[in-house]
Amino acid sequence: MLIIDIVKKHEPITSEEIAAKLNITRAALRPDLSILTMAGILEARPRVGYFFAGKNTKSLLAEKVRSIKVSEIKAVPVVIKEETSVYDAIVTLFLEDVGTLFVVQEDGSLCGVVSRKDLLKIAIGNADIRQIPVSVIMTRMPNLVTVTMEESAFDAARKIVEHQVDALPVVKLKEAEGKVKYEVVGKVTKTTITKLFVELGRV
């Protein structure tokens, strides 16, 4: 529509200027302008003029991406105990068909994360991987990057990219014996984000 196009191109623009461009009177323009303003398509600022108020695609997209919560997309985590041998951890990785294992203490609280690369590094060494527990090679608290249910998919993806990890444990804080502990209630991985991306592309 002509008025919208004119405002988009020349904002801020007064009603006199719009009328002049359309070669009509201000009186003839007034009903159109008031309906467009009421519809939220144009925005009128006193003494300045009319602006195009419609949100652009980029900010709509960003809003959507940031509105999706971790709780909506989280996947099921595979957890192992600290005492699990590196060999058994590798077997679990294949059996469960995952890329990252989360390591928990006796009370179930998170204490480490083991990746395929951690396992590969030890596997090519000369160590006896049936004797070594994963606790020796895992990345430990407090060096773990975690995410909570209330954070967004965007937050999770940003952490994955910035910290160069494949997976984040989704954690719930709990207090036990005066200490803050983390319960693992899910995971968000590069796979989770890739699946979400595919969902966004479906119409």
Nearest to 116 by CA among 137, 144, 136: 137
**At 202, is the secondary structure helix, strand, or coil?**
coil
Q: Which of residues 152-171 bind its own copies (CB under 8 A)?
A: 152-154, 157-158, 160-161, 166
List the one residue from 76, 123, 136, 173 that touches its own copies (CB under 8 A): 123
Nearer to its own copies, 23 or 164 (CB): 164
What the block records as the tokens of 140 is 């430990």
3-state helix, strand, coil in the chain (%, to 5): 45, 25, 30
**Least spacing, CB of residue 133 vs its own copies, in Å:** 16
Which CB, 119 or 171, lies closer to its own copies?
119
- Which residue lies nearer to its own copies by CB, 47 or 58? 58
Map the footprint of its own copies across residues 125-144, applying CB under 8 A. Answer: 129
Task: Answer yes or no whether residue 173 interacts with its own copies by CB under 8 A.
Answer: no
66 binds its own copies (CB under 8 A): yes
Q: Rounded to 5 degrees, what are φ and ψ at 89?
A: -65, -45
Residue 174 lies near its own copies (rule: CB under 8 A): no
Q: List Cα–Cα distances, 186 to 42, 83, 146, 189, in angstroms.
A: 44, 21, 10, 10
The total of other beta-carbon atoms located within 10 Å of residue 115's CB is: 18
> Is residue 95 a contact point for its own copies (CB under 8 A)?
no
Binding mask 1-30 for its own copies (x = CB under 8 A): x--x--------------------------
Shortest Å distance, C-beta 110 to its own copies = 22
Q: DSSP assignment of 69-87, as one string?
A: BHHHH-BPPPEEETT-BHH
